[in-house]
Chains A and B, each alone.
Chain A
Amino acid sequence: MRLYEKNASELSEMLRAKQCSASELCNDVLDRINEVENEIGAFVTVDAEGAKENAARVDKAIADGEKLHPLAGIPIGIKDNISTKGMRTTCSSRMLENYVPPFDAFVADKVKSAGMTILGKMNMDEFAMGSSTETSYMHLTRNPHNTECVPGGSSGGSAAAVAAGEAVVTLGSDTGGSIRQPAALCGVVGMKPTYGSVSRYGLVAFASSLDQIGPMGRSVKDVAMVQSLICGHDPMDATSKNMEYPDYAAGLNENVQGLRIGIPKEYFGNGIDDSVKSAVMEAVKQYESNGAVIKEISLPSTEYAINTYYIIASAEASSNLARFDGVKYGYRAKDYTNLIDMYEKTRSEGFGDEVKRRIMLGTFVLSSGYFDAYYKKAKIVQKNISQEFSNAFEQCDIIATPTVPASAFKIGENIGDPIKMYYNDVCTVTVNIAGLPAISLPCGKDGKGMPMGLQLIGDKFTEQKLLNAAYAYEKMCGGFDTLAKITGEAK
């Protein structure tokens, strides 16, 4: 077994026990990238030099007997909308193709301080807008389980890399399902933490009130380790919650005796594949046989969630992306006659179709005369959705649903039909609207041999409980088989 196949928790032990060096680990993962990246396309930028330098530093520190963070030397990929000082951060957009941030995001600083080996930056849908990574200006990313299929999105590169062994863990960002949906489609573990538990400082904003950075990995423990690293109060983010954050990995517990699991009927209706429904219900049965209590619950406002989400997210995006105007950094059109012409050409040429669609939608819903009918109403529905979750969490500890209505679709299958694409997020957007934590776990494969996802949703700031429930499921399954056997690998 090669080093790239192992999980972070195992590798952490091996590094301490000097069973392998950080450089050996780094080189093996870089080799793996060389082997499969042409086929997968998970990365926008690979920083082999930087990765090797860090690994050498960690090895020296180990040799010197320094006390290291458990994740020191573990290779990580970072989604390309998270600012990394000195390393280009493109958001997979032509607009920022050559933009190099002068500062580190809070989470990038945490990753560096822990001594993790940054492999590079992961491909994504442009500005995190999309569910297939097909809107990337850079290139396609392919699903390691079937390279004709999408990896999901927007954190498609982060998910595909973990499934393909091109990274041990990755960071993604989730505004409406962008961590959980690709995790489900690529058969890995991905968590969207509670809004406010991970600083957004340095995350290029899509929808500020919904965005959250989170970890992706091949085991619950790996995800818990990374979450413990990146969470915490940040005075640079006014929405960051100031509280004590536990060490989630150390606190993992697989006991589900008496755990109340709510099953919301609205998440099992039309549009959800039968194979997905039965896979999720099978998982629920396993919980029950291990002592959990299953309760049917109702979240009636769910049917308005997609509309609400696209109004709020697009409204904020139209404002957040206005700064990309060609004046200060990033793309600027070549020929223009005056200031307005420069703005128009720069933004027309620098943004792709999906981004432009959402900017126009967001601009419309905030316009005078339409604000009350759209934005204001969406904020009211947001309150209702949050309230329904609050009520639900009085009856249960965890809510279980599918992550995605179906397994991965073919590349190009949905790209011409935005509404169909948007409905891929039907099970995930409510979580962002309510600011809750949720995790997607591999939940078997469908008839096409493609992974499906189980989503567990927790109450605000109950990540430990959520991770424990996830950990229990992983144990019930006898561990997750998360590393994809890449189709076409033999070619």
Chain B
Amino acid sequence: MKDYEIVVGLEVHAELNTDSKIYCNCKNAFGLEVNSQVCPVCMGMPGTLPTLNSKVVDYAIKMGHALNCKINRVCKQDRKNYFYPDLPKAYQISQADVPLCENGCLEFMVDGEIKKVRITRIHIEEDAGKLLHDESFAGSLVDLNRCGVPLIEIVSEPDIRSSAEAKAYLDTIKSILQYIGISDCKMQEGSIRCDVNVSVNEKGAKEFGTRSEMKNVNSFSAAVRGIEYEAKRQIEVLEAGGTVAQETRRWDDAKGVSVVMRSKEDAQDYRYFPEPDMLTIVVDEERVNKLKESLPELPNIKIKRYVSELGLSQTDAVLIAEAMDKSRLFDEAVALNMCSAKNISNWILGDISKYVNETGKTIDETELTAKNLCVLIQQIEKNVISNSAGKKVFQVIVEDGSDPLKVIEEKGLAQNSDTGFIEELVKEVLANNEKSINDYKNGKTNALGYLVGQCMKASKGKANPGLVKETVTKMLND
């Protein structure tokens, strides 16, 4: 088999979490009673007119900035015409030739390397309703609650070369949407969906292969499976001497296959034309700049900083940066400059993650502060308390927010690192355990552990265990 290259471009649709819909005052909410969040406008009743929710423009511009796009301060909306029962006007208001944002790029880390994907465009549009089927009724029913829910569509250039890169791209887009607070990104509610364009070509070929577009990809893991399936399918077609058809396919995640929806010849003509019910969108420069200033440090930037400046592994950096509450705690703790970033990262990804997973709380809902966390880590780093004592302190401060130093004192958790004291202690224990000394000298190394344990017991757990082990080893070998 020849060596193939996979080429992927992604179109991500994200529902924005504005309070109201894009063209009317209905509530933008998921999961409410069927056809309860509707009005004549979003139901497309004759004579109704759309009026643009300016928040939608703001949110899309924020995403444009996050993806380093050029913001088109003058742009328009267009009608995309097609018939479907979940689309009451029989056209979707979208943006055709002049999107709100274009020509951007996104950098993120894959396998320790920085990957750059160009962003073609981001445009605003309205979502359609949903068809429902019920056993009690032979036909289809329609729920129009989702009609007019604002969407942004983020279109990438075909710069992605593997399913792993696609996954990292999608994860980064998702965490950025969450960071800037414009989408709930709830996959199970369909608030973020994607279309996947895949082609394959022989490595080194000058031109891309013919692409297929895959719809109905409802999760990022489905995107990974879909890309792998589709690339394999296309390679098999080529290897068998065939040609790949330009077509739209539907991903069936349950069966793990893509099936043809329509060929290029059957491609729909949406007859786009400027939406005559809407004025040109004009955004002044000040508003564009203000929105840029409002952006926080984004997760992909954080990851780069955590790896290159703070020495975290890419895996740890991603785990912290992609969760907003973790990165907030991490950044605050690092800024206090009291202990090592690596130790802070270990605590966040270890005990803290375990605690929030078990309790179902977010970090923000616990009593843990960055300051207390750093004080605790500092006490461990300074050998004032042992790691296991540190875990006990953590259990207290995460629940009630008390001062770690006080907890150490009240519980008497401080360990004794005085070398004179420890030498006396070890001497006494060794004097009473001749059998174990002989065992050790006869090669039974677990005797060492026993002797250290006896020392700890004799000190009622206060002795610095590292120092004890060091002293025991030294004395046994003398």
Contact = CB atoms under 8 A, between A and B. Distances in A.
B81 interface: yes
A323 B86 CA distance: 11
Contacts of A96: 46
A203 B311 CA distance: 65
Given A343-B83, A366-B271, A375-B273, A325 B90 contact: yes
A313 B277 CA distance: 13
A323 B89 contact: yes
Is the interface on chain B under 10, 10 to 19, 20 to 34, or 35 or more residues?
Answer: 20 to 34
A101 B90 contact: no
Given A236-B51, A328-B88, A319 B273 contact: yes
Nearest to B142: A327
B276 A209 contact: yes
B50 interface: yes
A200 B277 CA distance: 10
Interface in A205-224: 205, 207-209
Contacts of B278: 238-239
Contact of B88 (A103, A235, A323): A323
Nearest to A339: B85
A319 B49 CA distance: 14
Contacts of A203: 47
Contacts of B47: 81-83, 89, 101, 105, 200-205
B171 to A, nearest CB: 36
A368 B46 CA distance: 27
A315 B89 CA distance: 15
Contacts of B40: 101-103
Interface in A295-351: 315-316, 318-319, 322-325, 327-329, 339, 343
Contacts of B91: 319, 322
Contact of B46 (A99, A318, A343, A363): A99
B406 to A, nearest CB: 59
A98 to B, nearest CB: 13
B51 A238 contact: yes
A113 interface: no
Nearest to B268: A368
Interface of B: 40, 43-52, 79, 81, 83, 85, 88-91, 142, 269, 271-273, 276-279
Nearest to B273: A366
Contacts of B49: 200-201, 236-238
Interface string A47-70: 000000000000000000000000
Interface centre among B50, B52, B271, B278 (most CB of A within 10 A): B271
Nearest to B24: A236
Contact of B89 (A82, A105, A204, A322): A322
Given A238-B51, A343-B83, A367 B273 contact: no
B280 to A, nearest CB: 10
Classify the secondary structure of A's interface with B. Answer: loop
Contacts of A83: 46-47
A371 interface: yes
Q: Which 6 A-B pairs have the closest CB atoms?
A: A322-B90, A208-B276, A366-B271, A209-B276, A204-B46, A202-B47
A322 B83 contact: yes
A205 B85 CA distance: 20
Contacts of A367: 269, 271
A238 B90 contact: no
A322 B90 CA distance: 6
Given A208-B277, A323-B90, A368-B269, A328 B44 contact: yes
A314 B269 CA distance: 17
Contacts of A102: 40, 45
B56 to A, nearest CB: 14
Contacts of A82: 47
A235 B271 contact: no
A209 B44 CA distance: 18
A70 B300 CA distance: 66
21 contacts: A91-B46, A201-B49, A202-B47, A204-B46, A204-B47, A207-B276, A236-B51, A237-B51, A238-B50, A238-B277, A238-B279, A316-B273, A316-B276, A318-B271, A319-B79, A327-B88, A366-B81, A366-B271, A366-B272, A371-B271, A371-B273
